Structure 1
Amino acid sequence: MYIKQLENGQVRYTQKYVDKKGKTQKVQITLPSKTKVMQARAKSYWKKKFY
């Protein structure tokens, strides 16, 4: 997981994965802060997206 602080104060979480066809895909989610709760929320979003 990559974390980047944006100019407007929000945080962009980026995750790369390999899909079923073997291509590398990238999923991004923007959340308001960089706390552990927000990181967990981003991970739960990705689990729903990937599986």
Structure 2
Amino acid sequence: MTTPRVPRPLPERATVVDVHGSRFLLEWLDRGTLANAAESARRTGDLPEERAAS
């Protein structure tokens, strides 16, 4: 069973781009958000280089 998609408004700092017929949403994040995501990935071992080593 799948849940229906709920439309959500585009983030304020986002750009929609078309590349070879595919559409992508680029969301521009501030450094604090990126730093928090990186720290979280480090704690959980979810970094690409850590996955390759295991």
TM range (shorter): 0.3 to 0.5
| TM-score scaled by length of structure 1 | 0.32
Choose 1 or 2 for highest CA Rg. 2
| TM-score scaled by length of structure 2 | 0.31
More helix by share: 2
More strand by share: 1
